[in-house]
């Protein structure tokens, strides 16, 4: 009788499932999107990639402004705190996914354009699907301010599911 050969475990990338990108920002909107994904479209072969984008803090001269920029050491401290907060958030989502039995990875990006960073991440991670929340801002505010979810929806080359806020009725 031949001895059974031990098969090496496959890495997350070796599995033949979908790569699902879930942007996270610590808001109830990203939490809602993840929960919706788990309840509605999750399949056991999926690999979820949580992406958190931290916007950098820049120093600018306070020309023509009533407010002065904070001192440089304070800005560096605030940036480091933002990065640590982003890492902690990614770890929380990884623990949540593990508890749900979902293969996952988490990535932190520093970029001043979160929408563009997410679209770039979609390509880099070869995502098959994006599931994200939105803030439910009105049409006028979205027109003037834009929104990350609108940007991703219109620039991604993969399906994007935007989970809306719950109806407040």
Domain count, the chain: 1
pLDDT of residue 72: 64
Q: How confident is the model at residue 96 (pLDDT cuts 50, 70, 90)?
A: very high
Average pLDDT, the chain: 81
pLDDT at 4 exceeding the cut of 50: no
| Vertex 52 angle, CA 71 and 83, to 5° | 30
pLDDT of residue 92: 94
The answer as to whether 112 is a domain residue is yes
The answer as to whether 129 is a domain residue is yes
The answer as to whether 1 is a domain residue is no
Which of the two residues, 72 and 33, has the higher pLDDT score?
33
Count Cβ neighbours within 10 Å for each residue of 118-145 and write b for 16 or more, e otherwise: bbbbbeebebebbbbbbeeeeeeeeeee
Give the structural domain span for 137: 16-59+69-163
pLDDT of residue 82: 84
The answer as to whether 5 is a domain residue is no
CATH code of residue 133: 3.40.50.620
pLDDT at 163 exceeding the cut of 50: yes
For the residues 148-161, what does the mean pLDDT come to? Answer: 94
**Alpha-carbon torsion angle 129, 133, 138, 140, nearest 10:** -50
The answer as to whether 31 is a domain residue is yes
**Cα R_g (the chain), whole angstroms:** 19
The answer as to whether 6 is a domain residue is no
The answer as to whether 9 is a domain residue is no
Q: How confident is the model at residue 117 (pLDDT cuts 50, 70, 90)?
A: very high
């Amino acid at each position: 009788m031949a001895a059974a050969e031990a098969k090496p475990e496959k890495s997350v990338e070796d599995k033949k499932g979908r790569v699902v990108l879930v942007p996270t920002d610590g808001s109830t909107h990203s939490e809602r999107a993840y929960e919706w994904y788990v309840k509605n479209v999750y399949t056991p072969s999926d690999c979820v990639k949580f992406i958190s984008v931290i916007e950098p803090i820049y120093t600018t001269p306070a020309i023509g402004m009533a407010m002065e920029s904070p001192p440089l050491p304070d800005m560096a401290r605030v940036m480091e705190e933002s990065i640590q907060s982003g890492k902690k958030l990614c770890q929380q989502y990884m623990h949540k996914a593990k508890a749900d039995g979902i293969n996952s990875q988490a990535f932190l990006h520093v970029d001043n354009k979160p929408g563009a960073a997410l679209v770039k991440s979609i390509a880099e991670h070869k995502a098959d699907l994006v599931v994200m929340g939105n803030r439910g801002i009105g049409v006028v505010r979205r027109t003037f301010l834009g929104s990350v979810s609108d940007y991703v929806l219109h620039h991604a080359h993969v399906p994007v599911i935007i989970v809306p806020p719950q109806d407040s009725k």
